[in-house]
Amino acid sequence: MNTANPKPDLNRRAFLKVSILASGALAVGVCWGSPLSANEMEGDLWTPNLYVHINRDGTVTIVSKNPEAGQGVKTAFPMVVAECLEVDWNDVSVEQAPLDTRYGRQVVGGSRGTPDGWDDLRVAGTGALYMLTAAAAEKWSVPAAECSAKSGVIYHAASGRSVPYAELLDGAAALPVPDVSALRLKSRPEDFKLLGRFVPGVDNHKILTGQGLYAADTRLNGMLYAVYEKCPTFGGKVRKANVEEIRKLSGVTHAFVVEGTDNLTGLLPGVAIVAETWWEASTAREKLQVDWETSHSDSTADYDRQALALASEPGETMRSDGDVDGAFDSATRVVEASYYYPFVSHANMEPQNCTAVYHESGRMELWAPSQNPKSGRTLVSRTLGIPEDQVEVNLPRIGGGFGRKLISDFMVECAWIAREVRRPVQLQWTREDDMRHDFYRPAGWHHFKAGIDDGGRMVAFDHHFITFGRNGKTISGAGLAPNHYPAGLVPNFRLRQSIIESNVPTGPWRSPGHSAYCFAYQSFFDEVALAGDRDPLEFRLDLLSRAYGEPPLDLERTSGTLRMAAEKAGWGRNPGANRGLGMAFHFDHGGFVSHVAQVVADGSRIKVEKVWSGIDVGPVINLSGASNQVEGAVVDALSTAQLEITFANGATEQSNFSDYDLLRINQAPEVECHFIQSDFPPMGLGEPPIAPATPAITNAIFAATGKRIRELPFSRSGIVA
């Protein structure tokens, strides 16, 4: 499972396609499919995705297919093409693709952009270079093997000749395309010229000068602005609303009830108010009176009561290895502790929004900050009964996603309103809408019991996980893989699970699950290490030195990151008065990350001074983007460890940054990133760095203060950051 590093299977997937565009540019694309259907390549199905355009003026345009949400893909992907094509980065411009099936997966999620794109991007760049080289070789009547390329020029060293790519476009287009399996793709860090360097983001100039990049920056002729009121209680329906009165208010053009559907990730029932400006729609909303029909009354207090009652029950056994009870009987010592983390919100700076036009032809056009525009298109298509090929989705820059915008409820709301009013509409949620209608990261309780032998080695592990579900099945973000470590690292292991029924909408939150439960596991490991009088680093390296059955993660690569972080942090040194060091390792979404945190304490007030990170995601593509993700994930972890979402009467109690106050600059630690370069295929970094950051910090708090954080947010444990 987790350890697999899939080998590229190029023959099965990729074909090159080359053509000359009307502009005269040479366009090189990659198509997918099986070689058996290669004879269909001229059909529409085989229209290539046109990753690369080599223009007549010598510049190169590279298309970025995935939405950009700050994870850096819009810079990283073109860098891969430029590396393989041997062109200068300054000669490259980047174009954002719309949603288009020719590009395959277009999702920001699961840290999968990089591993999914790696082969095709290299094929496009390398294939284009292959053809340009062949064109030069033909022109000079020399073997292609004698030619080399650098900075957009092909050289023949023996005869001292050279020719820029721009003069080879027609020649290259006339040649047969190479078999993809014949291409030699760069894969080793030592071969890279551009990859691994610190490259600023391609949208920086637009961001720094305030040019419109985001979905809500879309401005269309005759556009109206909308707000959409949904029931504060999850699952509520509209009985009636004073829409006639609302329609009379200043600037309001439309006000109507939307019946909606039962799909909790789709079009929820509500009331739309549309006006000439967003401010007028929002002001009119203050006068809106809705009679809601509600049936749910979920509350945090009730969840807590249920969790307490379930803790003394056995739960459902999800996995059992060895003889757990026997091992506890013969253990030298038994350590028990319970951990808790709350629900949390995504709280992207850009609240959900969407812009839509319903054209007279029946075509729906959307500008959506969606992390998964394809699923958003399907949702719009099914809910409105518009064929998918009549739903066009543009992919503006996303103002933060973190998993929230994998669910495209805002798209279907806007599409519905746009069809109703027959004018371009921009729907903008308020911050309060955003916080009250999130798909939250679920809370969880972990009751741990570990048995250690004379040497302090963990020989038995019993874990009772209390989580959330609906109809007896865990809900999104609330599951725990039975083969998650320490399963496979301890000879006697048992995982039990109990479920609390919940009506709260939950969903993926940056590194779903991992970002929550890693805190519990890695904090408890520290407790077990210290109970056996062992150093937390030595204990962890020993834990990672053997597996029982299939290893739950790559032991060598995980240990490597731990050693790296420890060495750079100077693990074992005395950090000074009121200071402490803490560490944690983790593996998720293909990436191995360990952190060491240093905390200074003044009584119960703490500050995280610095974090050292050891990271192994294979070769780094953009050093800036990669370290930005690590730095941001550490800040995110420290921020989220101080926050909680609570419920009362079936509704969310928090509403804005006033009661869900994200971390500010004064608390942000310095983060030092150390990447272990390897020639494993590169993996994404949006998620892997966050999970181990929380326990590295809480373990450092223990080292500095003697206070073990077993509950989040920090305030529940009497700690102030």
Partner 1 sequence: MSQVNLRINGENHTLDLPPDMPLLWALRDKLNLVGTKYSCGIGICGSCTVLVDGLPMRSCTLPAAGLAGSEITTIEGFAPDGDHPVQKAWNEEDAPQCGYCQGGQILTAAALLKEKPNPSDGDIDEAMYGVVCRCGTYPRIRKAIKRAAAYAATEGGDV
Cβ-contact 179, 15 below 8 angstroms: no
For residue 82, the minimal CB distance to partner 1 (Å) is: 17
Q: Which is nearer to partner 1, 252 or 530 (CB)?
A: 252
Closest residue by Cα to residue 19 from 42, 37, 38, 39: 42
298 DSSP β-pair partners: none
Give the Å distances, CA to CA, from 594 to 368, 518, 535: 35, 12, 16
Tokens at 500, concatenated: 């609390």
For residue 401, the minimal CB distance to partner 1 (Å) is: 8
Q: Which is nearer to partner 1, 92 or 163 (CB)?
A: 92
Secondary structure, 3-state, 635-704: HHHHHHCCCCECEECCEECCCCCCCCCCCCHHHCCEEEEEECCCCCCCCCCCCCCCCCHHHHHHHHHHHH
Of the candidate residues 142, 541, 662, 676, the single one contacting partner 1 (CB under 8 A): 662
Q: Which of these segments, 31-39, 120-128, 551-559, 629-637, binds partner 1 (CB under 8 A)?
A: 629-637
Q: Does 286 bind partner 1 (CB under 8 A)?
A: no
d(CA 102, CA 50): 9
Q: Which of these segments, 121-129, 482-490, 653-661, 677-685, binds partner 1 (CB under 8 A)?
A: 653-661
Of the candidate residues 402, 509, 519, 714, the single one contacting partner 1 (CB under 8 A): 402
Q: Does 109 bind partner 1 (CB under 8 A)?
A: no
Q: Does 225 bind partner 1 (CB under 8 A)?
A: yes
Cβ-contact 500, 303 below 8 angstroms: yes
Name which of residues 253 to 282 contact partner 1 (CB under 8 A).
Answer: 276-280
Q: Which is nearer to partner 1, 166 or 634 (CB)?
A: 634
Closest residue by Cα to residue 532 from 447, 445, 460: 460
Q: Does 633 bind partner 1 (CB under 8 A)?
A: yes
Strand runs (DSSP E) across 488-644, as ranges?
492-501, 579-588, 591-602, 605-616
Name which of residues 340 to 399 contact partner 1 (CB under 8 A).
Answer: 347-351, 397-399
For residue 203, the minimal CB distance to partner 1 (Å) is: 7
Angular region, 471: left φ>0, alpha ψ -120 to 50, beta rest: left
Q: Which of these segments, 43-51, 211-219, 521-529, 704-712, binds partner 1 (CB under 8 A)?
A: 211-219
Of the candidate residues 184, 219, 359, 422, the single one contacting partner 1 (CB under 8 A): 219
Cβ-based neighbours of 436, under 8 Å, separated by 6 or more: 232, 651, 652, 654, 655
* Pairing label, strands 14-20, 26-32: antiparallel
Name which of residues 43 to 82 contact partner 1 (CB under 8 A).
Answer: 69-72
Q: Does 663 bind partner 1 (CB under 8 A)?
A: yes
Name which of residues 181 to 210 contact partner 1 (CB under 8 A).
Answer: 198-201, 203-205, 207-210
* Pairing label, strands 224-230, 425-428: parallel
Q: Which is nearer to partner 1, 494 or 514 (CB)?
A: 514
For residue 410, the minimal CB distance to partner 1 (Å) is: 14
Q: Which of these segments, 109-117, 426-434, 469-477, 478-486, binds partner 1 (CB under 8 A)?
A: 426-434
DSSP symbol at 577: T
Of the candidate residues 233, 352, 639, 705, the single one contacting partner 1 (CB under 8 A): 639
Cβ-contact 99, 158 below 8 angstroms: no
Q: Does 288 bind partner 1 (CB under 8 A)?
A: no
Q: Does 634 bind partner 1 (CB under 8 A)?
A: yes
d(CA 242, CA 706): 58
d(CA 277, CA 267): 23
x-marked contacts with partner 1 along 298-337 as a string, rule CB under 8 A: ----------------------------------------
Q: Does 612 bind partner 1 (CB under 8 A)?
A: no
For residue 512, the minimal CB distance to partner 1 (Å) is: 18
Q: Which is nearer to partner 1, 3 or 624 (CB)?
A: 624
Q: Does 251 bind partner 1 (CB under 8 A)?
A: yes
Name which of residues 488 to 517 contact partner 1 (CB under 8 A).
Answer: none
Of the candidate residues 101, 181, 250, 289, the single one contacting partner 1 (CB under 8 A): 250
Q: Does 430 bind partner 1 (CB under 8 A)?
A: yes
Q: Which of these segments, 145-153, 155-163, 645-653, 659-667, binds partner 1 (CB under 8 A)?
A: 659-667
For residue 218, the minimal CB distance to partner 1 (Å) is: 8
Would you say the C-alpha torsion 466, 468, 471, 475 has a positive or negative sign?
negative
Q: Which is nearer to partner 1, 414 or 671 (CB)?
A: 671
For residue 278, the minimal CB distance to partner 1 (Å) is: 6
Closest residue by Cα to residue 329 from 184, 197, 453, 493: 453
Of the candidate residues 3, 148, 187, 283, the single one contacting partner 1 (CB under 8 A): 283
d(CA 179, CA 371): 33
Q: Does 216 bind partner 1 (CB under 8 A)?
A: yes
Of the candidate residues 64, 352, 383, 428, the single one contacting partner 1 (CB under 8 A): 428
Closest residue by Cα to residue 639 from 618, 665, 658, 617: 665
For residue 31, the minimal CB distance to partner 1 (Å) is: 32
3-class DSSP state of 233: strand
Give the Å distances, CA to CA, from 466 to 127, 462, 656, 717: 52, 13, 29, 20
Q: Which is nearer to partner 1, 252 or 553 (CB)?
A: 252
Cβ-contact 65, 103 below 8 angstroms: yes
For residue 556, the minimal CB distance to partner 1 (Å) is: 30
Q: Does 658 bind partner 1 (CB under 8 A)?
A: yes
Half-sphere exposure of 479 (CA within 13 A, CB side): 12
Q: Which is nearer to partner 1, 379 or 633 (CB)?
A: 633
For residue 212, the minimal CB distance to partner 1 (Å) is: 5
Closest residue by Cα to residue 126 from 18, 212, 24, 200: 18
Q: Please tell me the count of residues contacting partner 1 according to CB under 8 A.
A: 68
For residue 652, the minimal CB distance to partner 1 (Å) is: 16
Give the Å distances, CA to CA, from 551 to 12, 111, 486, 546, 688: 29, 22, 9, 8, 19
Closest residue by Cα to residue 612 from 634, 590, 632: 634
Cβ-contact 482, 495 below 8 angstroms: yes
For residue 413, the minimal CB distance to partner 1 (Å) is: 17
Cβ-contact 565, 612 below 8 angstroms: yes
Strand runs (DSSP E) across 440-578, as ranges?
444-452, 458-470, 473-474, 492-501
Q: List residues near partner 1 by CB under 8 A.
A: 69-72, 198-201, 203-205, 207-214, 216-217, 219, 225, 250-251, 276-280, 283, 347-351, 397-402, 428, 430-431, 624-625, 628-629, 631-636, 639, 656-658, 662-666, 668-671
